[in-house]
Amino acid sequence: MLPIITKTPRIAACVIALLGLGLHATSSVAEPAGAPAADPPRALADWGVQFSATYIGETLADVSGGMRRGTIYAGRLDLGTTVDLDRLFGWHGATFHANLFQIHGNNLSRNYVGNLLLVSGIESLPATRLYEAWIEQSMLGGALSIKVGQQSADTEFVDSRYLDMFVNAALGWPGLTGVVLPSGGPSPPLAVPGVRIKARFGDKLTASVAVFDGDAAPPGPGDPQSRNPNGLLFRVHDPAWLIGQVKYGFGNGNGMPSGITAGAWYHFGTFDSQRFTAQGSSVADPAGSGLPARLRGDQGVFAVYEQPLSHSAADPAKGTGLVARVLASPSDRNLISFYVDAALLFTGFSPSRPDDKFGVAISYARISDAARALDRDVRRWSGIASPVRDFEAVIELTYLAQITGNFAVQPVIEYVMHPAGGATDPFDPAGTRRIRDAVVLGIRTTLSY
């Protein structure tokens, strides 16, 4: 479908070669003149080539409620390389980055809980896939940067460092964009080609804008991850997705995030009406076509607020931090029209365990008025008292124990209210019972190199 597909083997080979180099490097790598002898990773680092490996493994259990109870194990290996192209080639201000995922195991939300705000940020279909591959050019002393290539949006837009440790996926890439955008938007495990421009205006003000291909997967039935199984499609012909934000830092964080962000996004594609057909009748009307009308474009606005509440006496860069995010989108073409989350993160509270963290967070996603109206239409025409969806909310408590510098253990508990917005339980033969509220217990381990 895409001319660029013909370049896929060459691009993939280059990326895999770079990723593999860190594992198979030998002492034959040349060292800069006059440099002391070094082991292979140090020699590569001297040339500006760095490698990373992070493995996240977790056992999660639905111990009450949801569609059914059960326990799963899931894991994700993230292999990455970052190359300082100035040190390697003399390309001033340029950086190359690529990483790939090896994902394995089962999915608790998909197979047991049945909720929209996935209980884990690593929940994905098993696969080995390229994630990101981009070049960033910094200029004007770092005041302006341009990033080009396959990239994600979740680490630069609508984000907060206070949310990095939480397990629930919606506390990374927000629950609204992750549900309403095609293929979930550019976020794990699907990145897309795009261009991001970031400008810094002094120490406090930053503006970012990006344009991405609007869909990581080709059209068709089934999960988008199955339609782009290895991350090598490099789609560039879909209607674009545009996002921009302005961030103002309060300047009182002492190393902790502090500021307010406001932004908006627009998608140039077409989207299904949540209630009506092209003829104006309800999708649930048996006399109608049953096919939703196609509506042109989709958009949304968002804001992020970050504020330190206290600082640790031992380390002012640690303490108690608060973050809140809010997003809104039109009701007529989106399953979720309003989303808000908030979290408290506690760090530096124990002199004997200075790197441990504790967090509590809540997220809330409101089912749109149009989708709720369709549920009422279904009740009217079917004669079955099926549930009318309203909202989904998740409360998470988690503690990260940093055992060593590169190994952490993290127990977590999540309480999921109204999974899938209070949708009909697929295992209820009468079709009248909601999916029950669920309690999820789990433990995550993270090993990094």
**For 377-404, what is each residue's pLDDT tens digit?**
999 999 999 999 999 999 999 999 999 9
pLDDT of residue 314: 87
**What Cα–Cα distance (Å) separates residue 306 from each residue in 146, 169, 374, 441?**
25, 19, 37, 28
Task: Give every CB contact of residue 181 below 8 A, 6+ residues apart in sequence.
Answer: 241, 267, 298
Per DSSP, the three-state class of 222 is coil
pLDDT in tens, 302-332: 999 999 999 998 898 999 999 999 999 999 9
Strand, coil or helix: what is 109? helix
Place of tokens 């040339």: 47
- Give the model's pLDDT for residue 28: 37
Cα within 13 Å of Cα(152), Cβ side: 24
CA contacts within 13 A on the Cβ side of 122: 29
Q: Two tokens at 132?
A: 């990101």
Residue 16 has pLDDT above 80, yes or no: no
DSSP 132: E
Single-letter amino acid, residue 205: L
Q: What's at 335, amino acid-wise? A: L
Q: What is the mean pLDDT of the chain?
A: 92
Nearest to 256 by CA among 316, 325, 203, 344: 316
Specify the pLDDT at position 26: 34
- Domains of the chain, with CATH numbers? 3-448 (2.40.160.180)
pTM: 0.90
- Please state, in angstroms and as integers, the Cα–Cα distance from residue 65 to each residue in 174, 178, 436, following that order: 24, 24, 5
From CA 350, how far away is CA 94, in angstroms rounded?
A: 40
- Band (pLDDT 50/70/90 cuts) for residue 42 is confident
